[in-house]
Amino acid sequence: MDVYGLVGNPVGHSVSPPMHEAAYDELGMDASYVAFEPAVNEIRQAFVGAETLGIEGLNVTIPFKEDVAAIVDADELAAEIGAVNTVDFREDGPPRGYNTDAAGVKRAFDHHDVDLEGRSAVVVGAGGAGRAAAFALTDAGAEIHIANRTVDRAIGLASELSSASGGSLETLDSQIGDASVLVNTTSVGMESDETPVPAELLHEDLTVLDAVYSPIETRLLRAASEVGARTIDGAWMLLYQGVEAFEQWTGRNAPVDAMNDALRAALNAE
Ligand code: ATR
């Protein structure tokens, strides 16, 4: 049996195991996906153990994504983002690290037929998810503005990208009006009825992606729907980072519908 998994702390409520196991079932693969929770200062030992035990691949989540980028052979995009969420142990030599969060953003837009080329986009947040979204949107040809509570982080990230600017959350007031894409990558709205973007700034020409997936319909997405904007919920981004990881590990096309059904069932059961 092939073993894949997730390392994070905590991982108790992860919906990745049912999502990946639905793919194995659908394709008749003899494989299993396990959530592991190493102590926060023991990620290196966990990786040595995973390699020794013959684990095929691991996803990586909070708080390990940046640490893992430094201990595996990260590809160019993951190195630029500075975070690894997918590790492939199958080849000889050091494990390879990838960032499929960026592909998750791009593929979530593709799934909804949103062409990002030449679009004006606003990214809220400049943490790990914000960096992945900013690189994905820039790669796809969008011009982006990054707004973040900690201004220096937004300006620093913008300076690493072509065609990007950065500023405080107050800059949302002047930037959203002309934008056609808005992505929330902050944790605001997770398990709470808050929004990082005042409702009065939203308009019907926007497509709004919220990386928060718990609840699936956040306050931001609700407010966006109310003004007639298009909405893409965070489960799409979660799905496509998993689809991309599956395809990286197995070289096969992922059974996207089966993974999506399992993911949404698991999220709704929480
Ligand atoms: P992740 O890897 O999930 O992106 P992170 O690196 O801790 O997590 O980043 C969290 C993001 O949410 C950051 O942009 C953070 O803003 P700061 O850089 O100022 O910390 C943002 N964030 C978290 N709580 C917030 C809040 N209450 N209001 C506004 N932004 C918040």
Q: pLDDT, tens digit, for every residue of 103-127? A: 999 999 999 999 999 999 999 999 9
- Element containing residue 199 per DSSP (H, E): none
Active-site residues: which are they?
65
Share of the chain above pLDDT 90, in %: 97
Residue 180 has pLDDT above 90, yes or no: yes
User: Pocket residues for ligand 1 (CB within 6 Å)?
Assistant: 125-130, 148-150, 153, 185-188, 196
Asked whether this chain's domains 2-98+236-268 and 102-232 adopt the same fold, the reply is: yes
Average pLDDT over residues 48-66: 96
**pLDDT digit string (tens) for 184-229?**
999 999 999 999 999 999 999 999 999 999 999 999 999 999 999 9
pTM over 0.85: yes
Residue type, 232: I
The CA 260 to ligand 1 mean position distance, Å, reads 27
pLDDT on residue 214: 95
The answer to whether 105 touches 137, Cβ cutoff 8 Å, is: yes
Residue among 230, 237, 231 at smallest CA distance from 260:
237
Q: What is the pLDDT of residue 12?
A: 87
Q: What pLDDT shows up at residue 91?
A: 87
Give the ligand 1 atom nearest the CA of 125: 14
pLDDT of residue 13: 86
- Tens-place pLDDT, residues 2-12: 999 999 999 98
Model confidence band, residue 270 (pLDDT cutoffs 50, 70, 90) = confident
Nearest CA to ligand 1 atom 11: 186
Which ligand 1 atom minimizes the distance to the CA of 211? 3
Q: In 3-state terms, what secondary structure has residue 145?
A: strand
Q: Would the pLDDT of 62 be above 90?
A: yes
pLDDT at 163 over 90: no
Residue 186 CA to ligand 1 center (angstroms) comes to 5
Helix ranges (DSSP H) in the chain: 16-27, 43-53, 65-71, 76-81, 100-111, 128-139, 151-159, 172-175, 219-226, 234-250, 256-269
Give pLDDT, residue 92.
85
Q: What is the CATH number of domain 102-232?
A: 3.40.50.720
pLDDT exceeds 90 at position 79: yes
Of 235, 221, 243, 234, the closest CA to residue 263 belongs to 235
User: How is the chain split into domains, by residue range?
Assistant: 2-98+236-268, 102-232
One of 3.30.390.50, 2.60.40.10, 3.40.50.10860, 3.40.1160.10 is the CATH number of 2-98+236-268, namely: 3.40.50.10860
pLDDT at 232: 98
Q: Which residue has the tokens 């056609």?
A: 180
For the residues 160-187, what does the mean pLDDT come to?
97
185 touches 211 (CB < 8 A): yes
Averaged pLDDT score across all residues of the chain: 97
Cα of 166 vs centre of ligand 1, distance in Å, is: 15
